[in-house]
Amino acid sequence: MGFQLLGQLGDGAQANRLTPIRVPGLTGVTAIDAGPRPAFSTSSHTLAIRPVTAPRFRLETREDTLDLAPGGTATAVISVLPLNDSRQVVTLNTAGIDLPPGVTANFGSKLISVGESVTVTFTADPQTTPSHGKSSSVTIIGTASLPASSATTTLDIRITDPVS
């Protein structure tokens, strides 16, 4: 409501309003403020405040299951995908307790920008015991700050019989 000689209320009309109106396209408003124009000024102000969704990200891998022979390597590509226009830098790691005994994970880079991918190389010690078709779920964890957020993705690793 108010004067709107110049369309100040945002609804496209120029008729003064004595009652509140909805402004098209303005949703999720949590507070509103308006002020009179100062003396000798031709303007006043209206301010609408709405919450902004924090930038976040999600992790994806193209591989569901990796077969890894004792003494061998297997790779997985981890993509860091933006949510809410995120431009964060993400630190990637594994929850070390998830790795099968004798397996290590090496990230091409542990710091990666949202929108990029990195290759993780899993290496099995030559003495690693085959899992006989059973797999271990490995969780890849991504964390970022400013604002703080995290995401995970999971893939399975099967330790195969040694390659002869």
Q: Which pair of tokens denotes residue 126?
A: 């030559």
Q: Which residues are registered as beta bridge partners of 97? A: none
- Report yes or no on whether pTM surpasses 0.75: no
Share of the chain above pLDDT 90, in %: 48
Instruction: Kindly tell me if the per-residue pLDDT of 144 is higher than 60.
Output: yes
Strands 111-113 and 73-83: unpaired
Residues 98 and 154 in one domain: yes
Residue-wise pLDDT for 8-62, tens only, equals 555 666 777 677 777 777 777 777 676 666 666 655 666 667 676 676 899 999 9
Residue-wise pLDDT for 56-107, tens only, equals 899 999 999 999 999 999 999 999 999 888 888 999 998 766 899 999 999 9
Residues 24 and 89 in one domain: no
Among residues 93, 96, 37, 104, which one has the least CA distance to residue 68? 104
Residues 72 and 134 in one domain: yes
Residue-number span of the structural domain to which 101 is assigned: 56-159
Residue 148: pLDDT band with limits 50, 70, 90: confident
Contacts of 45 (CB under 8 A, 6+ apart): 33, 34, 35
What does pLDDT average to over the chain? 82
Q: Which pair of tokens denotes residue 75?
A: 């790779």
Residue 164 lies in a domain: no
